[in-house]
Structure 1
Amino acid sequence: MSEQKRIVVVGAGMAGVQTAVALREQGFEGRITLIGAEHHPPYDRPPLSKAVLLGKTGTTAFEVDFDALGVELRLGLQVTGVRPADHEIDTPAGPLAYDSLVLATGADPVTLPGTVGVPGVHLLRTLDDALRLRPVLEAQQDVVVVGAGWIGAEFTTAAREAGCTVTVVEAADRPLAGTMPAEIAAPMSAWYAEGGAELLTHARVAAVEPGAVLLADGRRIPAGAVLVGVGARPATAWLAGSGIELGPDGSVTADAHLRTSAPDVHAVGDCASFPSGRYGARLLVHHWDNALQGPRTVAANILGGATLPYDPVPYFWSEQFGRFVQYVGHHADADEMIWRGDPGGLSWSVCWLRGGALVALLAVGRPRDLAQGRKLVEAGAALDPELAADPSVPLKSAVRKL
């Protein structure tokens, strides 16, 4: 691409920032404009539910010198639409032309019906969200957490560390109902009581009142503050009417090279789904590692370099209740599950196999299992189930010999 070319990246989170960095690293010398809706300099999100909430740090800004990279950073600018036929995006400041466009707008938290704007009801997605919640923890208020997913568990951990009384209400019959099988969630349920929090399952919220949460069964739970953590959806509403194809889940339906249905438009990170040949399914991955890896593929494709299809092994981690939880792979189509260790203990793992090959692994306090398992999933290695079930046997030693 010539120096006159202009690449516009919409979204200044991890995926957007890394796209700009990757473009420069791969030799692009033209104009790069990075647009962020927030006024804060681009920042990392994982510390929001930990260090920022607890007042251990006030910022998690990326250590990227945008001036040195020659990246035009436009903050506090909300993009309202895109017109692919004109190669322009629309903003309150006027239209902006592009030669290539990258959609990296991430995801928005799902809200609880009837609670938007209600005093004392919080979300946890942005730096401002975390800063608004910090005084709640400092005041050791009674907190109700709606949703026992990953973010609910992490926030509960921080709130308990701060000395808050925490009640977690979950509509399903267990934590992580949307992501983990019942057998896995069962031992995790005990972590809440162990951490000093009360977990209520089969509990639906009927209303949020001043100082309380009212459940559908009539129970009234005191609440100085409410944290809603019931999931996130791709931030793609602004693409309505653009002609860019979206999936039923709201994600931009990118192809195997992260190209969208519109010419010269790519999508990456939490807002984009992609077809995985490895797993035979379209994946929507809302995790930090995906936002780190995808930009390299996007940059290579924009610049015309040869690149393999984007087909990563998904990975994420969570710190909760004194445990480091890591997951790698995708277990939806697995046909065998193998435990490694006692799930009632502090460290254990679960392997998922499909046709004898390792396709996913959950590790609780067993980082070596995760490190070895990640390589084995990438290689499509077959495991000996008996050896894999022995936690004293390194996973790499459980590979079947051909």
Structure 2
Amino acid sequence: MDEQTGQQQQTARNGRRVVIAGAGMAGVQTAVALREQGFTGPVTLIGAEPHQPYDRPPLSKAVLLGTAESSAFDIDFDALDVTLRLGLDVTGLRPDARELDTPQGPVPYDVLVLATGAEPLTLPGAEDVPGVHLLRTLDDAARLRPVLERRHRVVVVGAGWIGAEFATAARAAGCEVTVVEAAARPLAGALPAEAAAPMARWYEESGAVLLTGARVAAVEPGRVELADGRVLPADAVVVGIGARPATRWLAGSGIALGPDGSVTADASLRTSLPDVYAVGDCASFPSARYGERLLVHHWDNALQGPRTVAAAVTAGPEGGGADPVYDPVPYFWSEQFGRFVQYAGHHAEADALVRRGDPDGPAWSVCWLRSGALVAVLAVGRPRDLAQGRRLIESGAELDPDRVADPSVPLKSATR
């Protein structure tokens, strides 16, 4: 390719209209990454909520407790020349016409990025009961703030990450808190028993009541009835039982979806349709590192994936060279009951679990190994273990399990 042809192709790529459906972290960072990587064409960011795009983690912390009014991104969209269309739902996709359907009419695109995130699961039969809340949006946090201010009796359904973080905030505000979990332990969907069991004590230490193996039979105004007949008084009920990719609007579009509802993107985050990409909570991707398709509903994935999408978009189908590949070490963190909890990696195929430190103490870690190599690490109050462990996962170095088990030995010094 001569220089003139290359310049012509670059001009053509930069002239394409990019539309990003979703104005959360993944959508916003895609717009930012496109500009950072030199894309100069039109970029439109569509958000279903009327608010300026905002970060979600503070919703269960500072925003909920009233120490911050919002968590809007500190981004000058005008300076980036990004068009915001807020308060606009996307209702369908017509790839033949290269248009998104919205209540305000079609939105044409040359390149489309799906970044619609995830939607919280609701408790069947409780959706319209007064006093039942979710915690996913800025409006959700605003509705819950008076609950904390009035120190209500609160029942939290689900002892996952959101349930634990809300219970933490509610106890800090002086609420009476009962957490109802259908599984036998907290975080049953995220961590094995050996890792999650010590966390059950955190609830009691905070003054919250944790009921495990407890299923909700009915929710009525002022009360929650459990399947075993117990009745819990509740001025408010907060449901945190998980989320699913927000992709139902794509039905009939030709986009390939997985059994979990995720858009099945490839290693460059391209979808099954030409010039359509997917990123963040709505998309799964193949991980060569772990040998399986991953769906990661966490902040870091929504931050990192957009760089791959932007690289693929700016290169274009005729860009030449190797395709960008997205294969991260998944990472997330949580603040709960006075502890800083971090996790990196993917432990599903591990063949050994090694503890570092006393799980009854304030700081400890769990490491998962596969054929001697670290594949995942959970760190409670040990951020150095997390930082060093993440690098060891990336390198694939083989570790000495005995040295890993010694909390006085830095993880980086446990290599064979």
Give your verdict on TM over 0.5. yes
Q: Is the 8 A contact 2:154 2:234 kept in 1?
A: yes
Query: Following superposition of structure 1 onto structure 2, how do residues 65-214 of structure 1 map, counting pairs within 5 Å?
Result: 65-214=76-225
In structure 2, how many angstroms separate the alpha carbons of the residues matched to 1:242 and 1:116? Answer: 28
> Are the counterparts in 1 of residues 178 and 209 from structure 2 also a CA contact under 8 Å?
yes
Asked whether the equivalents of residues 260 and 267 of structure 1 are also in contact (C-alpha less than 8 Å), the reply is yes
2:389 to 349, 358, 373: 373
- TM-score in terms of structure 1 length: 0.99
- In 2, Cα distance between equivalents of 1:184 and 1:64: 38
Q: Which moved more, 1:303-312 or 1:280-289?
A: 303-312
Query: Deviation digits for residues 336-381 of structure 1, max 9, x if unmatched?
Result: 0000000000000000000000000000000010110010001111
What secondary structure does 1:283 align onto?
Answer: strand
Q: Which residue identity does 1:348 align to in structure 2? A: W
Residue 252 in structure 1 maps to residue 268 in structure 2: no
Aligned to 1:343: 359
Q: Which residue, out of 41, 60, 68, partners 2:52? A: 41
**Separation in structure 2 between the aligned mates of residue 60 and residue 273 of structure 1, nearest angstrom:** 27
Aligned twin of 1:280: 291
The whole-number CA distance in structure 1 between the counterparts of 2:58 and 2:190 is 22
| Matching residue of 2:408 | 392
Report the residue type matching 2:119 in the other structure: D
**Aligned counterpart in structure 1 of residue 328 of structure 2, from 308, 312, 323:** 312
Match in the other structure for 1:54 = 65
- Give the Cα separation in 1 of the matches to 2:52 and 2:199: 36
| 1:258-269 paired onto structure 2 within 5 Å | 258-269=269-280
In structure 2, distance between residues paired with 1:218 and 1:230: 21
Distance 1:344 1:28 in 2: 52
Name the SS for the 1:145 alignment partner.
strand
1:322 aligns with 2:333: no
Aligned ranges for residues 216-231 of structure 1 at < 5 Å? 216-231=227-242
Helix, strand or coil for the counterpart of 1:69?
Answer: coil
Question: How far 1:242 moved relative to its partner?
Answer: 0.2
Q: Is the 8 A contact 2:333 2:343 kept in 1?
A: yes
Q: Distance in 2 between matches of 1:186 and 1:290?
A: 26
Which residue identity does 1:197 align to in structure 2? A
Write the distance in 2 (CA, Å) between the matches of 1:114 and 1:392. Answer: 51
C-alpha separation in 2, matches of 1:377 and 1:10:
33
Distance 1:394 1:185 in 2: 23
Distance 1:249 1:111 in 2: 16
CA distance in 2, matches of 1:85, 1:338: 53
> % of aligned pairs identical?
76
Give the Cα separation in 2 of the matches to 1:370 and 1:295.
23
Question: How far apart in 1 are the matches of 2:165 and 2:190?
Answer: 16
Aligned with 2:31: secondary structure? Answer: helix
Question: Which residue of structure 1 aligns with residue 3 of structure 2?
Answer: none
Please list every run of 5 or more consecutive structure 1 residues that lacks an aligned counterpart in the other structure: none
Structure 2: how far apart are the matches of 1:149 and 1:182? 13
Contact 2:180–2:212 (8 Å) recurs in 1:
yes
Distance 1:129 1:373 in 2: 35
Offset of residue 239 of structure 1: 0.2
TM-score of the superposition, structure 2-length normalised? Answer: 0.95
**Maintained 8 Å contact 1:297/1:307:** no
Q: Tell me, which stretches of 5 or more residues in structure 2 are unaligned?
A: 1-9
Preserved contact between residue 311 and residue 324 of structure 2 (Cα < 8 Å): no
SS of match in other structure, 1:116 = coil
Counterpart for residue 19 of structure 2: 8
Give the secondary-structure state (helix, strand or coil) at the position aligned to 1:68: coil
**Greater than 4 Å deviation, 4+ residue runs:** none
Which residue number in structure 2 is paired with residue 241 of structure 1? 252
Partner of residue 331, structure 1? 347
Displacement of 1:186 in angstroms is 1.3
3-state DSSP of counterpart to 2:228: coil
The one-letter code sitting in structure 2 at the alignment partner of 1:340 is R
Query: 2-side partners of 1:307 and 1:351: how far apart?
Result: 33
Q: Deviations over 1:217-257 (max 9, x none)?
A: 11000000000000000000100000100000000000011
SS at match of 1:368: helix
State the distance in 2 between where 1:146 and 1:9 align.
Answer: 33
Deviations 1:255-312 (A, max 9, x none): 0110000010000000000000000010000000000000000011011165431100
Task: Report the 3-state secondary structure (helix = DSSP H, G, I; strand = E; otherwise coil) of the residue aligned with 1:52.
Answer: helix
Deviation at 1:115, TM superposition (A): 1.0
Structure 2 CA distance, aligned partners of 1:299 and 1:4?
15
Of the structure 1 ranges 330-339 and 85-94, higher mean CA displacement relative to structure 2 is found in 85-94
The Cα RMSD (Å) is 0.8
Q: Secondary structure at the match of 2:78?
A: helix
State the secondary structure of the residue aligned to 1:206: strand
Give the whole-Å Cα distance in 1 for the aligned partners of 2:323 and 2:275: 16
Q: Does structure 1 conserve the Cα–Cα contact (< 8 Å) formed by 2:160 and 2:241?
A: yes
1:256, 1:189 → 2: CA distance? 37
Q: Aligned partners of 1:282, 1:43: CA distance in 2, in Å? A: 28
